Structure 1
């Protein structure tokens, strides 16, 4: 990006918000933006949960304008486990359905701080487990057609759900797509092991301060933030995980930890593809359909869904 554009982006850096105090304001703003006119889409709402459970998780199903694939994408939204919901992610999910030609199920898991860890994780786990055990509920002809997808904190949830499914002896997804996921607990530029935290944690779409606020709201106990169910990169056993696509954004502070997680999965014997989108910012999955970053990402996603054999490959811009 040129210097002028970088300066303009810095005006919107998150330190202007204190997420610990302003998260409700952010939620309202997100819903207002999502209510703006969006392309027409076919959607239906329902709830899913274990038999006898008092809490059932809302799910919104999006159908593509043209069904091109039999896969069903179970999507966990981003927002630092604190913001985001079915409404605010409706435009992104409608786009996802149309650009992949797949049915998309958007999961409205419980948010912190009202429902701190592990409430939202357990919601995502319950939805994934029930759909994998009975894929026809998702509109899939087999469990192999169900793909877990998440962006940012949702990518974190997708990764952890896959670990939990394995650990609890449940049927796991055959594939997962992690978009600029949170995988580590430390985002302090003075102590983080990742250069992207130091290089991109103050200027752009997502900042160190915002991530720290999210963690404090999601996991109030600092010691628990190192738990592998919060920071999956800390897991000592990453074996038996789904075939994985990790997509990162060049100018995102989460870039390096997402790529580190992909490499750790590969080292544990899993099939992994890594792709970095040059010039992209955190959260680009919500950009308009004409966005270059968005279209590049969907080209990679569609190749992955079609069984692209180029596993463990990387974008030329990656080290």
Structure 2
């Protein structure tokens, strides 16, 4: 259903919360956790694990599909939240739905958040979990070729960056990745080359201003903005990347850069499918699966995974 005038007016009003993210990011974290409580554990199978990474451990939560196979395939999931908010609890229901809708085990990564842990801390956490799962198939009984990276928004950025790191470090190489409205570029001001930053950057919940604030909190120094692991679209070489499925939302400021990343991957010789979800806002993937955009997204994901 298209966004009508009343809905547009409501979205516009909700898109300008009077809050300084850089000063109040901890309050935003609390608000997001309250608005996305964990699912009732009576209705799904999940358990927690931890992966060593340097001087700390990275928590992960493993969700089994309702009708799990003896050795199900794996979706390694990196959550969104602008690298600053979100965790395995706030994405608990999303991962539960993902496991059941795909019939695959979902491994959700609770990577460290900025600004306490700026770039590349969260990325290194995601890479450490991927490395353990890809290199040790005894952990979950799944071969490396049956593991797919998945991420939404900042998590899509992290999934793309993990794939680049994996190729460059030569330790493993994912076969497939699903990037859901990923952040791939480094500039979301009016100087951005992407029209969606201006056309969708003020009235559709996620604003361009908010994306800029997230990136400022995520980076540890200004030079990070030019790092392809920070902004994958800046990578000079995008060859030898996984088969990629990219979803963008019609009314999302990140729409055009996500699609541009897909085209760059395609030009570099990779297999890519780009899907723009009509009448969708940034964050739609966390809605209940009865919503038509979510339902269609899972249909396309399952088609992609079955290839």
* TM-score band w.r.t. shorter chain: over 0.9
Q: CA deviation at 1:177?
A: 0.5
Deviations 1:246-270 (A, max 9, x none): 0110100000000000010010000
C-alpha distance in structure 1 between counterparts of 2:155 and 2:23, whole Å: 22
State the match for 2:207 in structure 1: 207
The counterpart of 1:35, out of the listed 30, 34, 37, is: 37
RMSD after superposition: 1.5
Q: Which residue of 1 aligns with 2:253?
A: 253
**Mapping of residues 1-319 of structure 1, within 5 Å:** 1-35=3-37, 40-50=43-53, 53-67=54-68, 70-137=72-139, 139-188=140-189, 190-307=190-307
Deviations 1:34-83 (A, max 9, x none): 32765821110010125xx3211000001111237932000000000000
Distance of 2:19 and 2:196 partners within structure 1 = 21
Tell me how far apart the structure 2 counterparts of residues 127 and 150 of structure 1 sit (CA, whole Å): 14
Size of the aligned set, in residue pairs, is 303
SS of equivalent to 2:48: strand
> Structure 1 stretches of 5 or more lacking a match?
308-319
What's the offset of the Cα at 1:136?
Answer: 2.8
SS at match of 2:75: strand
- TM-score norm. by structure 1 comes to 0.92
Q: For 2:46, what is the secondary structure of its paired residue?
A: strand
Query: Equivalent residue of 2:281, what SS?
Result: coil
* 1:2-29 residue CA offsets vs partner (Å, 9 max, x unmatched): 1111111112215533211221111111
CA contact (8 A) 1:15 1:209 kept: no
Q: Is the Cα–Cα contact under 8 Å of residues 144 and 174 in structure 1 kept in the other structure?
A: yes
Q: How far did 1:220 drift?
A: 4.2
Stretches of structure 2 that go unaligned for 5 or more consecutive residues are: none
Distance 2:118 2:176 in 1: 27
Q: What SS is found at the alignment partner of 1:136? A: coil
The whole-number CA distance in structure 2 between the counterparts of 1:155 and 1:212 is 17
- Name the counterpart of 1:316: none
* 1:279 aligned counterpart, secondary structure: strand
Find the residue that maps to 2:56 and give its secondary structure.
coil
3-state DSSP of counterpart to 1:290: coil
Change (3 A) 1:302 1:90: same
